[in-house]
Every structure is written in C-alpha cells, then in structure tokens.
Copies of this chain bind each other. A is one copy, B any other.
C-alpha cells in the first residue's frame, strides 16, 4: 500500500476547528488507499508561550528542562488530533517522539536524529490506524526528551518518510506551493510544479520560509519527494525533487529576497595572510552566521572587507568589528542596516549563461544601485537599498518572464 507522510505546522492546528480540518485531510488520503502518517507541530503559538513562561524565571533556562517543557506542545496536538480522528469514526493512534523511537543525539534544543525505530509505526499501520507522530521531538540515548530546533517538525516528517520509504512527504503550510517569487510583491508570480532540492535549499537560506533547510537537506540525502501544499484546499502543490534532465531547460526557478540583512565593512585592512581568517574566526566564535563576504584589494597594500549578517546580530558584530579594526590596524569600520538582498535561483544556470546580465540590466533599468554581488552555481545575489527591494523583485521577475509557464 502506498505510504503518505503529512506534516501540519502550528498555524494548521491552532484551534479545534483547524485540527478537525487536518483530520479530514488525513481521512481523504486514507480513503484514497494510502497508509497515512501525520506529523504535527504545537498548536498555534504554544511553543513561543512556553518559552516566554520559562523566561519569566530566567533568561538562561537549562536546555534539558526546556526540551521537557517545549515537547508538551506537540504532545497536546497529537492527542487532540487523535481525538478528532476518532470523532469522525477513523482509527488513529498518537505517539510522542520518544514513544515512536526517534533517537537523537543529546544536543538539547537542537538535537539531530540518529535513527528511527519503525517497528511501532509499522504495527500501528498494519492494525489499520492513521498514525500520528509528534513533530520536533525525540529521545536521547540517555533517555532524555530532546527537541530538534527550528524547522524541527519538517525534519521529523522527512526523517519518517525516509525511514519508512514513503511515497511522498506532504508539507502543509499556509501557502499553496513554491512561487517564482513572493506574490505579495509580484501579483503575477506563478506557482511552480517542481523545484529541485538544491534550488529549494537556496530559497530557504535566502529567507523564503516555506521549508527549513535541514529538512530539505535530509530529503535530498534520502531522496524523499516533498510536496509543499496548502492546508486550506486540496489542490496539488509544488514537488521538491531530485534534479532531472527536463528541469535543466528551466533556467531560472524564482526570485528570492531577504530583508533581514545588514552590512559591515572594515576599511583599510593590512593585506597579509591570515587576516580574513582572524576576522571571521572571531565572529564565528560569537556564534554569528555571516552570509556574503566580499574583499576588494586596494592599491595601497590594504584591503576593504565587507560582509553581511542578520539584523539580530548587527550590534554585536559591529562591536567585534571595531575591536578587530583596532587590533589589525585597519582604518575604520562602516556599517549599513538599510540593505536587502535579492537573488535569482535556478539549476538551469549551471548550463545556461546570460542570467546575471539580465538581472543586472533589470536593476539598472529600474534605477537601482547594486552594492554587493555574490554568486553560486545556481544562484546570483545582489545587495541593494532596502527601499528598492519591491521594485527590484518586480523588475527581475518581469525581465526573466517568470510569470509565463515554460513550455
């Protein structure tokens, strides 16, 4: 029998009516002749509320106890969903992560799945149940409850799909698929039928919040077909799949953006080996993730080094940079928190040229100045003024004719 894993996030189970809606989706899939596993997150804002409650005691709560606390959120969801299935006459049984044998390492609050014991799920499926599994949580080899960190429920769903060799892992969200760009900015943005894992990874890292990178990486490694689809209708969504020949013809899949960027430049850094390493080691030591890095060689034996970090890390990074500036004997530090990043993503860029030129032309025609440029095999990113972002996304989308279905 085909096996479908369905995953529903917090907003899809935020109240009793929405939970019933999730149950209807599970039953529909079952009636179509599939075995069904449903993975759910905590209801609505539950996890945030639990964290806030702990923070009323201390700003630095013990990670083991935070996992003990937070994991209750999903446990409430699975029980409520099981009760909803029963009320509709459907056999269903719920399991916590620990119960179902999702074994993780002991890194509390961001544990990684080591193995999944599928026996209990197989048994429950054989007995005719829809199997409900709590997302986001597992159990360490020390028998402690762990949580998987951001995007954890997606990770649970994909890991289960991989372990059980599911035919598809349906990720239900409040959007009905992956678009060529954000429809709030470009109303003519088009829903994609398919996208590759690598493109999805670039989109996720660029701030498109549809899927967390970890779950996409996991899906790529185990070749799990993900479908991003809507909680609110039954239409097919976007498939995230392995790259195939036909997809190379589609040069560009989409235009992504990220408003959560700030830029820091250390000007006049003496040019000797190990300088860059020294700078970015110091920043990494503070657990700050740097996105783009650009180094311009100056004529005077000195370099200008610019890089971007998330808005939440801006103040701390600026402080570290000023210390570094002094230690290294650089001239000065400049910063800018009014920037944004716009990117074009597509596996076809590996074999097609001219995309960058089109992107730069679109920006130029719209009168938008490019501050930084960075490229990968399947992506070109430009840093621009944040005020120009909407105009930039629209212009690039138009220039690349993404609203038209590729024939």
User: Are A58 and B83 in contact, CB atoms less than 8 angstroms apart?
Assistant: yes
Of A67-75, A210-218, A233-241, A382-390, the segment with at least 4 beta carbons within 8 Å of chain B is A67-75
With both beta carbons as reference points, the residue of chain B lying nearest to A95 in the complex is identified as B68
Q: Note all chain B residues with C-beta closer than 8 A to A69.
A: 75-76, 79-80, 83
Cα A76 to Cα B57 with chains together (Å): 14
CB contacts under 8 Å to B, within A48-80, are: 50, 53-54, 56-58, 61-62, 64-66, 68-69, 71-72, 75-76, 78-80
User: Are A87 and B57 in contact, CB atoms less than 8 angstroms apart?
Assistant: yes
Residues A65 and B50 in contact in the complex (CB < 8 Å), given A57-B16, A72-B76, A80-B57: no
User: Are A83 and B62 in contact, CB atoms less than 8 angstroms apart?
Assistant: yes
Cα A145 to Cα B71 with chains together (Å): 15
Name the one of B50, B57, B99 contacting A19, with C-beta atoms under 8 angstroms. Answer: B57
Name the one of B19, B50, B56, B79 contacting A68, with C-beta atoms under 8 angstroms. Answer: B79
Cα A89 to Cα B82 with chains together (Å): 41
User: Are A61 and B86 in contact, CB atoms less than 8 angstroms apart?
Assistant: yes
Residues A20 and B80 in contact in the complex (CB < 8 Å), given A72-B72, A86-B65, A94-B65: no
Mask of A89-119 contacts with B, CB within 8 angstroms, 1/0: 0000110100100000000000000000000
User: Are B82 and A68 in contact, CB atoms less than 8 angstroms apart?
Assistant: yes
Chain B's nearest CB lies how many Å from the CB of A294?
Answer: 43
Q: Note all chain B residues with C-beta closer than 8 A to A96.
A: 68, 145
Q: Note all chain B residues with C-beta closer than 8 A to A54.
A: 79-80, 83
Instruction: Provide 20 A-B residue pairs closer than 8 Å at the C-beta atoms, listed in order of the A residue.
Output: A16-B53, A16-B56, A19-B57, A20-B57, A53-B80, A54-B79, A57-B80, A58-B87, A61-B83, A61-B86, A61-B87, A62-B83, A64-B93, A65-B82, A68-B78, A68-B79, A68-B94, A68-B96, A71-B75, A99-B143
Q: What 4 A-B pairs have minimum CB-CB distances, sorted nearest first? A: A69-B79, A72-B72, A68-B79, A58-B87
